[in-house]
């Protein structure tokens, strides 16, 4: 084994210092940037060669140890994380609706009536003015519609942030709270890449589709929301799943959309109708025949739309 000279060691230290100054830490052995910090041992380790770069680092985690989720929940001494989906960001106290004490035993009727009064006044003092009450109502509407649409938690957070921005810019004045809340949810779906059409959002909302579209365009323009055009391929997996189609048909539908879009047929067309026509054409080509009515019901478009888009896509594919 040949030991490195002092000059080589100085060169390695110089390279390490330069890398640290540039903001990219590399392993002196294999020059890999794949470094990780061991939370248990407090060591900086190279994932590729296993070299320990640093040891005895300060552990900034809790002083207790837990080996599963239930232990971690029991030993944790902090509350839930802050969230934008609640008007107070989840920082105020909530009194549980279970009429039981800390040991799980039922409380007496006198204590039960006392807790009922406390709970009622706690709900009242959580909102100090009409503005907070309106915000609470809007965020609860966003949560209700998001649950009905089946969108993930991240979409609700983004929708709540957009609504708070609209409220700060005074865009709510002269418009219904439900309309602005629905348009913010639709904008959040588009920003997060979750395919939900305007018709689907209007079904779970208490305002009509025309008002949602008008409010959405106004909010997006005033808040400078950079919205990309909706890709029809985002709707293909969901529609195909509801129709029970296989992977071959899905791949063929995506291919049809790509070829049609390259020839400029997508401009000015509804993405849901375009996706529905591509699925209908792919089902015929892959011998998984579905009727135009079945596809139209899933995509919530008319059969006429599917026929028109189908003819354009077949011509683009070069079929007679």
Binding-site positions? 27, 30, 46, 49
**What are the phi and psi torsion angles at 41 (to 5°)?**
-95, -15
Listed residue (206, 214, 212, 85) closest to 151, CA to CA: 85
Residue 302: both structure tokens together: 């008319």
Residue 185: both structure tokens together: 């949810």
The residues, any chain, with a CB within 8 Å of residue 131's CB and separated by 6 or more, are none
Listed residue (189, 187, 178) closest to 218, CA to CA: 187
Q: Strand, helix or coil at 204?
A: helix
CB of 44 closer than 8 Å to CB of 52: yes
Binding residues for Zn(2+): 27, 30, 46, 49
- The Cα–Cα gap between 17 and 23 comes to 10
Q: Give the H or E element holding residue 295.
A: helix 292-299
C-alpha distances in angstroms, 99 versus 68, 94, 119? 29, 14, 11
The residues, any chain, with a CB within 8 Å of residue 311's CB and separated by 6 or more, are none
Strand 35-38: give its sheet, edge to edge: 35-38, 43-46, 52-54
């Amino acid at each position: 084994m040949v030991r490195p000279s002092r000059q080589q060691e100085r060169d390695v230290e110089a390279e390490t210092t330069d890398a640290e100054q540039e903001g990219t830490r590399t392993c002196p052995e294999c020059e890999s940037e794949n470094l990780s910090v061991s939370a248990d041992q407090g060591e900086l380790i190279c994932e590729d060669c296993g070299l320990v770069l640093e040891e005895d680092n300060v552990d900034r985690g809790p002083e207790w140890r837990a080996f599963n989720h239930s232990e971690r929940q029991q030993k944790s001494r902090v509350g839930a994380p802050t969230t934008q989906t609640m008007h107070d960001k989840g920082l105020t106290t909530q009194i549980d609706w279970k009429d039981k004490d800390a040991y799980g035993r039922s409380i007496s009727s006198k204590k039960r009536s006392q807790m009922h009064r406390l709970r009622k006044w706690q709900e009242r003092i959580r909102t100090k003015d009409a503005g907070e009450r309106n915000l609470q109502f809007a965020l609860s509407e966003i949560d209700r519609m998001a649950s009905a649409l089946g969108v993930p938690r991240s979409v609700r957070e983004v929708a709540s942030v957009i609504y708070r921005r609209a409220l700060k810019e005074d865009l709510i004045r002269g418009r219904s709270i439900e309309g602005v809340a629905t348009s913010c949810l639709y904008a959040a779906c588009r920003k997060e890449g979750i395919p939900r059409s305007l018709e689907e959002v209007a079904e779970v909302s208490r305002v009509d589709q025309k008002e949602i579209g008008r409010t959405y365009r106004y909010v997006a323009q005033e808040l400078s929301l950079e919205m990309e055009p909706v890709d029809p391929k985002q709707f293909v997996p969901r529609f195909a799943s509801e129709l029970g189609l296989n992977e071959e048909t899905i791949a063929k539908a995506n291919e049809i959309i790509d070829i049609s879009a390259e020839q400029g047929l997508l401009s000015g067309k509804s993405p849901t109708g375009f996706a529905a026509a591509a699925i209908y054409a792919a089902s015929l080509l892959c011998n998984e025949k579905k009727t135009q009515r079945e596809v139209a019901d899933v995509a919530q478009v008319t059969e006429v739309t599917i026929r028109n888009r189908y003819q354009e896509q077949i011509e683009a594919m070069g079929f007679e």
